Amino acid sequence: MVEPVSIAHYRDDTLWAVVASIGRTTRVAEVFTSRLAALADRAWREQQVSAYANFLRNTTQPPPHYSVKPIRRADLPRSWRPLPALGFLHGKLL
């Protein structure tokens, strides 16, 4: 007999990730249970990057691009830690 799939279990496994990308390097910056919270965090991170736009123009490091994507808990690396909004300024994106 086949057991029915619980929708609540499916929802518990799916998260919304804010992903930071510089070139080919990507890293999950933060995870949220709701898409709206992830979109708000992405907007805040983009605002932080734009606030430092003049500083970034004087460096050779490109600013990150932030996007929101669904992710499963199992897809997060074991040693994953949230990425500070301006962590890329200290070389912490890699």
Render pLDDT for 32-65 as a digit per residue (tens, 0 to 9).
Answer: 999 999 999 999 999 988 887 777 777 777 788 8
Return the pLDDT at 7.
53
- Tell me, what's the pLDDT at 94? 44
**Between residues 2 and 47, which one has the greater pLDDT?**
47
9 vs 69, residue with greater confidence:
69
Share of the chain above pLDDT 70, in %: 78
CA dist 5 and 90 (Å) reads 44
Q: How far is the C-alpha of 71 from the C-alpha of 93, rounded, in Å?
A: 19
Res 74 pLDDT > 70: yes
Structure letter (DSSP) for residue 61: S
Q: CA dihedral defined by 6, 8, 10, 14, rounded to 10 degrees? A: 180
The alpha-helical segments, DSSP class H, found in 14-94 are: 35-51, 53-57
pTM of this structure: 0.76
